[in-house]
Copies of this chain bind each other. A is one copy, B any other.
């Protein structure tokens, strides 16, 4: 049992004031990620400040405008969370292709299947700032195209350098990506709890994908 003492609040639970600028800035940025993910970019700066237990004008000491803060949120989520190691996973031919794919998609899913990532990406898309197109272009170049190159190699097909990626091939990859992304949409946008383990879904999708893409690949090199 505790003795309620309303005498003095023990311990310096006291609101700390005057933080170091860099620290304050990162605190604001972090909270902004969570805040805008929940309410969208029309969320009000006053409400964000309230959550941070600071006053609203203080935000403008660290970010010149609301848009600048939103820019920072993008950076935080869509740039910082990209892991260059993923590209290594995909292209590491000392590992079986299927294993690589599963590992990549599992790790990638772990990053994007979060409340913040999914919702912010969707908010950004609806608002349109070209952010999504830019991101997906990067995703295509850094991951999808490498991935198709690896699949071509695995099955003894011409390199994508010699024979450009076909519409059907990239469409297959989009399909796999859609399946994973949609899990996040269901969970974080539709508020529908997933009844299945994400990893096992990914494994199954990857295997179906590998089975399905074969007939879509260009013919074997028969020069």
- Give the interface of A toward B (CB within 8 A): 40, 42, 119, 122-123, 125-128, 132-133, 136, 167-168, 171, 174-175, 178-179, 181-182, 185-186, 189-192, 195-196, 201, 205, 208, 212
A133 in complex: contacting residue of B123, B132, B191, B208, CB < 8 Å: B191
Interchain nearest-CB distance for A209 vs B (Å): 10
Q: How far is the CA of A192 from the CA of B171 in the complex (A)?
A: 13
Copies of this chain per assembly: 2
Interchain nearest-CB distance for A65 vs B (Å): 18
A167 in complex: contacting residue of B40, B119, B181, B195, CB < 8 Å: B195
The reply to whether A175 and B171 contact each other, CB–CB distance below 8 Å, is no
Interchain nearest-CB distance for A169 vs B (Å): 11
The reply to whether A189 and B126 contact each other, CB–CB distance below 8 Å, is yes
Interchain nearest-CB distance for A124 vs B (Å): 9
Q: Which residue of B lies closest to A119 (CB)?
A: B126
The reply to whether B40 and A205 contact each other, CB–CB distance below 8 Å, is no
A190 in complex: contacting residue of B40, B125, B171, B185, CB < 8 Å: B125
Interchain nearest-CB distance for A108 vs B (Å): 16
A167, A190, A208: which has the most chain B beta carbons within 10 Å?
A190
